[in-house]
């Protein structure tokens, strides 16, 4: 896994409140389904300059949807999400564990709970990280991307996905080939839209140019973004706005660090104070090393502000990401229905005063948790380069 290094955010004045956001009132764009209550909870934002509306909160199946959980829990989370208005579900070929199992489980839910509802859902998948052995099982070749998409469709039992992403930038494959594969997927009807994930602003601009030339505009960029990982504020958001590309921010809760889960963790006794059910307890994508005294101080400072706003830390963290109207959606994970419901309630208060934003800025600084940094720096992004680490598979 790549060592995640601190990068100081270049803060761009982006302080719109809910009243200035381009949200569509939920009453105008609520998925209605006989037998399910209409959703009052989640509003929708336009994805860049496209015709596609996405829910302000989307649900990702990276973790919590593998063989390590009962299918019943997954179904409860996904169906509750839909009831709350979350129409967008984000997958990738390698989500699990083991890789592929999240797509298989989601396919099962589509066949049962969501039977007949395909047109009300936006389903995405991606290819880029290691999926199978040999030279064609990762990165950005046409060979890998298009074979992987076939496999994803088969696992989910779908004819098409709504969004197909290049999951990471491949410095060794011509970008024209990678974008050509995305455009082919759209031309073949196997995806409706194309997207990129964790691309630098330079690579994103070039990807957008290539895709436009091929007649398949780039719909969306999926970068990591949270109060403790603000790299997209430097230039990526400006590029997305210029190009008319949407932005779906992943890990907005910093994998759970920006929730109440870690408030009782003591850095000097992590073993003794870490909740057993916390992602960090697995020491996988959320390394225990992230739980430094300095980072936990930031988390506590932010939790105090959230409390004054009458929100939980998780709710404030999501509202804060959505303060910028260029962020189309925040892409969360949830290991329980309770977490999901708490997070969706963030939408009840999206407005920040300038004083709150200024105070948040004192704590919301880079915490060295961006394990996807290698991809977003590989495309020529000018960067404060204290990083050294090797590439990390997001599994």
**In the complex, minimum distance from the CB of residue 319 to ligand NAP, in angstroms, rounded to a whole number:** 13
- Asked if 372 interacts with ligand NAP (CB under 6 A), we say yes
Q: Which of 105, 155, 205, 279 binds ligand NAP (CB under 6 A)?
A: 279
Residue 106: CB minimum distance to ligand NAP, A: 11
Distance in angstroms between the alpha carbons of the first and the last residue of the chain: 10
* Subset of residues 223 to 252 that bind ligand NAP, contact rule: CB under 6 A: 250-252
Tokens 């709150």 -> residue = 356
Minimum CB distance to ligand NAP smaller for 211 or for 265: 265
Q: Which of 94, 166, 197, 370 binds ligand NAP (CB under 6 A)?
A: 197
Binding residues among 167-186 for ligand NAP as defined by CB under 6 A: 167
> Of 253, 291, 297, 298, nearest to 272 (Cα)?
291
Q: Which of 4, 156, 303, 314 binds ligand NAP (CB under 6 A)?
A: 314
Q: Among 315, 291, 293, 287, which Cα is nearest to 302's?
A: 315
Among 334, 364, 374, 378, binds ligand NAP (CB under 6 A): 334
Is position 39 an interface residue for ligand NAP (rule: CB under 6 A)? no
Among 62, 193, 225, 231, binds ligand NAP (CB under 6 A): 62
Smallest separation (angstroms) from ligand NAP to the CB of 335? 4
Question: Where does this chain touch ligand NAP (CB under 6 A) — which range of 18-26, 66-74, 287-295, 329-337?
Answer: 329-337
User: Taking contact as CB under 6 A, which single stretch among the options 45-53, 67-75, 339-347, 356-364 is the one that binds ligand NAP?
Assistant: 339-347
The nearer residue to ligand NAP, 64 or 93, going by C-beta atoms, is: 64
C-alpha count within 13 angstroms, C-beta hemisphere, residue 81 = 33
Buried b (16+ CB within 10 A) or exposed e, 327-358: bbbbbbbbbebebbebbbbbbeebebeeebbe
> Does 328 interact with ligand NAP (rule: CB under 6 A)?
no
Number of residues counted as binding ligand NAP (CB under 6 A): 34
- Residue 335 lies near ligand NAP (rule: CB under 6 A): yes
- Summarize as ranges the residues that interact with ligand NAP (CB under 6 A): 60-64, 90, 167, 197-198, 222, 250-256, 259-261, 277-279, 314, 331-335, 339, 342-343, 372, 394
């Amino acid at each position: 896994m790549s060592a995640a290094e601190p990068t100081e955010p270049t803060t761009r004045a982006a302080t719109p409140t809910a009243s200035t956001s381009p949200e569509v009132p939920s009453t105008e764009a609520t998925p209605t389904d006989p037998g399910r209550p209409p959703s009052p909870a989640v509003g929708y934002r336009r994805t860049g300059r496209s015709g596609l509306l996405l829910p302000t909160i989307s649900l990702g199946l990276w973790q919590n949807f593998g063989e390590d959980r009962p299918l019943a829990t997954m179904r409860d989370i996904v169906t509750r999400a839909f009831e709350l208005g979350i129409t967008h579900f984000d997958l990738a070929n390698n989500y699990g564990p083991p890789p592929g199992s999240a797509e298989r489980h989601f396919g099962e839910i589509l066949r049962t709970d969501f039977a007949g509802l395909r047109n009300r859902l936006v389903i995405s998948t991606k290819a880029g990280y290691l999926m199978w052995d040999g030279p064609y099982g990762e990165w950005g070749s046409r060979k890998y991307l298009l074979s992987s998409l076939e496999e994803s469709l088969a696992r989910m039992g779908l004819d098409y996905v709504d969004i197909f992403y290049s999951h990471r930038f491949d410095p060794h494959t011509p970008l024209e080939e990678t974008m050509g594969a995305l455009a082919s997927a759209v031309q073949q009807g196997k995806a409706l839209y194309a997207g990129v994930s964790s691309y630098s602003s330079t690579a994103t601009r070039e990807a957008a140019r290539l895709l436009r030339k091929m007649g398949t505009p780039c719909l969306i960029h999926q970068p990591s973004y949270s109060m403790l990982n603000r790299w997209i504020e430097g230039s990526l958001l400006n590029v997305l706005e210029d190009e008319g590309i949407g932005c779906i921010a992943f890990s907005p809760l910093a994998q759970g660090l920006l929730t109440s889960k870690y408030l009782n963790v003591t850095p000097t006794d992590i073993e003794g104070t870490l909740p057993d059910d916390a992602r960090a307890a697995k020491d996988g994508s959320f390394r225990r090393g992230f739980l430094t005294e300095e980072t936990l101080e930031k988390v506590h400072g932010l939790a105090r502000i959230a409390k004054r706003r009458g929100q939980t830390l998780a709710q404030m963290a999501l509202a804060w990401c959505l303060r910028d109207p260029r962020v189309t959606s925040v892409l969360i994970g949830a290991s329980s229905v309770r977490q999901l419901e708490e997070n969706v309630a963030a939408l009840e208060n999206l407005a920040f005063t300038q004083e709150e934003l200024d105070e948040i800025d004192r704590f919301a600084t880079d915490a060295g948790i961006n394990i996807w940094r290698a991809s977003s720096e590989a495309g020529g992004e000018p960067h404060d380069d204290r990083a050294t680490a090797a590439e990390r598979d997001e599994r």
